[in-house]
Amino acid sequence: MLLDTRSIQFINAFEQLTGVRTGDCFEAEGFLVFLVKKGEFGRAIGRRGSNISKVQKKFGRRILVFEDFDNISEFTQAACRLLNVSTDLSDRKLRVKIPRGEREGISGKQIRVIKELLKRRFDLEEVEFIFT
CATH classification of the domain holding 20: 3.30.300.20
Going by pLDDT thresholds of 50, 70 and 90, the confidence category of residue 8 is: very high
Q: pTM for the complete prediction? A: 0.90
14, 35, 67 - which closes a domain: 67
Going by pLDDT thresholds of 50, 70 and 90, the confidence category of residue 106 is: confident
Which of 17-26, 43-52, 97-106 has the weakest average pLDDT?
97-106
48 and 32 in a single domain? The answer is yes
Domain count, the chain: 2
Going by pLDDT thresholds of 50, 70 and 90, the confidence category of residue 82 is: confident
60 and 10 in a single domain? The answer is yes
Query: For position 104, what pLDDT does the model report?
Result: 78
16, 42, 67 - which closes a domain: 67
Query: What CA–CA distance (Å, rounded) separates 92 from 81?
Result: 23
Query: What CA–CA distance (Å, rounded) separates 28 from 50?
Result: 23
Q: Is 6 buried (19+), middle (13-18) or exposed (0-12) by CB count in 10 A?
A: exposed
97 and 118 in a single domain? The answer is yes
- For residue 76, the enclosing domain spans 72-131
Q: Where are the alpha helices (H) located in the chain, listed in sequence order?
A: 5-18, 41-45, 50-59, 72-79, 108-122
In Å, what is the CA distance from 124 to each residue of 67, 95, 104, 106, 121? 18, 11, 26, 21, 8
Percentage of residues of the chain with pLDDT beyond 90? 77
